[in-house]
Amino acid sequence: MRFGYREDQLLVRDTVRDFVRTRIVPNADAWNEKGEFPLDLLPELAALGLTGLAVPQEYGGAELDMLTSALVMEELGAGDGSIALTVAAHNSLCIGHLLAAANEDQKDRWLPPLARGEYLGCWALTEPASGSDAVSVQSRLRREGDDYVLTGTKQFITNGGVAGFAVVLIGAGDRRLTAFGVPRASPGFRPGRREEKMGLHASDTAQLILEECRVPERDRIGRDGAAFEDVKRVLDRGRIGIGALAIGLGRASVEIATAYAKERRQFGRPIAEFEMIQWKLARARTELDAARLLVHRAASLADARVPFTDAASKAKLYASEAATRAADSSLQVLGGYGYLRDFPIERHLRDVRLMEIGEGTSEVQRIVIAREMLRAD
């Protein structure tokens, strides 16, 4: 096993790290305070290739491999969870579904504007009564001539209120799903309620409402009723990105706590000299390093085109939980100051908690891992 990165991967990582330091970190508090995704950032993300991470260059994308994308997601996460989640939903979920299942005509029409960052994309699977059991959706489709007519409500959709294009998963009966590409302006399609969340305040989360929304057959993605197979492939890749994003949030928290521990004095010496403080920092750092190895292993398997479902679930499960522990113990190192909004750790802690829920809860990851084990043994 080789531990190391190519020069081009490190160049992308360092470029994004620099952008995060100069453009995201100084503004993240204001964006989160405002409670909206800063749409004026989109052209800047696009200029760096962050709106078309895995999109082939022929469609205007950066055509990055999965490992490089994981390096990018960690850097974005270290800056702000909201910006990182926005980029993740646009790339891993919306574009990820198109790369996994769209035909050439659909890729020609939909990928270039998404990769250029003309608008954000979103991916709508969850419904009010259907979360972990994703095929239990209540949305419905019916055929009318060459069109489909879609009805239903999608819940918790990242970028839902601001996206120009959605990949929407609709119930096709018998616990089957069909996917459609739906431009924002489509009649019968509109954002619904915007959700107020614990964290990730600069990431848009909204319902999507489909009321007799008419979609031509050419906008159906993949085969009728067979989209759940594509959903699983999309989520396998998405989970690697969420794991990397979580590591970024944990890492940023530990970096702040480490610097603080060296400065803050109690009982006549820096608190960094107390073993209980050292133990917290050492445990967090070790767990994040272990998480990164799991995430990068899963990404490398994906890049090698060998099965990586199990590796992606382990990476997402461990990274999200380790990052939450890291942010929590980092906050503790700052004592009362950690609880104030003067330092971003309280924001990172609120943001990172979602990573144990979105794209499959920790419980669902354990189900996937156990299923793979029991199948193999």
Ligand X SMILES: Cc1cc2nc3c(=O)[nH]c(=O)nc-3n(C[C@H](O)[C@H](O)[C@H](O)COP(=O)(O)OP(=O)(O)OC[C@H]3O[C@@H](n4cnc5c(N)ncnc54)[C@H](O)[C@@H]3O)c2cc1C
Q: Which amino acid, 317?
A: L
Encoded one letter per residue, x for contact with ligand X by CB under 6 A and - for no contact, window 105-134 reads -----------------xxxxx----xx--
Specify the stretch interacting with ligand X by CB under 6 A; choose among 60-68, 102-110, 197-205, 296-304. 197-205
Q: How far is the CB of 148 from ligand X (least distance, A)?
A: 19
Nearer to ligand X, 252 or 352 (CB): 352
Backbone angle region of 168, left / alpha / beta, with phi > 0 → left and psi within -120 to 50 → alpha:
beta
The catalytic position among 36, 346, 359, 372 is 359
# of chain residues touching ligand X (CB under 6 A)? 23
Interface pick for ligand X out of 158, 253, 309, 313 (rule CB under 6 A): 158
> Contact between 354 and ligand X (CB under 6 A)?
yes
Nearer to ligand X, 22 or 132 (CB): 132
Specify the stretch interacting with ligand X by CB under 6 A; choose among 153-161, 236-244, 287-295, 318-326. 153-161
3-class secondary structure per residue, 136-149: HCCCEEEEECCEEE
HSE (CB half, 13 Å, CA atoms) of 57? 2
Q: Which amino acid, 355?
A: M
Beta bridge partners of 157: 206
359 is a catalytic site residue? yes
Q: How far is the CB of 287 from ligand X (least distance, A)?
A: 22
The span from the CA of 331 to the CA of 163, in Å, is 34
Interface pick for ligand X out of 53, 157, 245, 323 (rule CB under 6 A): 157
Nearer to ligand X, 27 or 362 (CB): 362
Specify the stretch interacting with ligand X by CB under 6 A; choose among 2-10, 238-246, 266-274, 360-368. 360-368
Q: How far is the CB of 281 from ligand X (least distance, A)?
A: 29
Give the orientation angle of helix 81-88 with respect to helix 66-79, to 10 degrees. 150
Instruction: Give how far Cα 69 sits from Cα of 92, 131, 176, 179, 287, Å.
Output: 10, 27, 31, 25, 21
Site residues (CB under 6 A) for ligand X, limited to 57-96: 89, 93
Strands 165-171 and 121-124 come out as: parallel
Instruction: Give how far Cα 328 sits from Cα of 150, 239, 280, 350, 353, Å.
Output: 43, 22, 10, 10, 10
> Contact between 358 and ligand X (CB under 6 A)?
yes
HSE (CB half, 13 Å, CA atoms) of 360? 29
Nearer to ligand X, 69 or 207 (CB): 207
Specify the stretch interacting with ligand X by CB under 6 A; choose among 55-63, 275-283, 285-293, 351-359. 351-359
Encoded one letter per residue, x for contact with ligand X by CB under 6 A and - for no contact, window 213-252 reads ----------------------------------------
Q: Which amino acid, 276?
A: M
Q: Which of 123, 130, 207 is nearest to 161 (CA)?
A: 207
Nearer to ligand X, 219 or 359 (CB): 359
- Cβ within 8 Å of residue 5, ≥6 positions away: 13, 67, 71
The span from the CA of 209 to the CA of 290, in Å, is 41
**Residue with the closest Cβ to ligand X?**
131
Active site residues: 359
Sites of contact with ligand X (CB under 6 A): 89, 93, 122-126, 131-132, 156-158, 197, 200, 205, 354, 357-361, 363-364
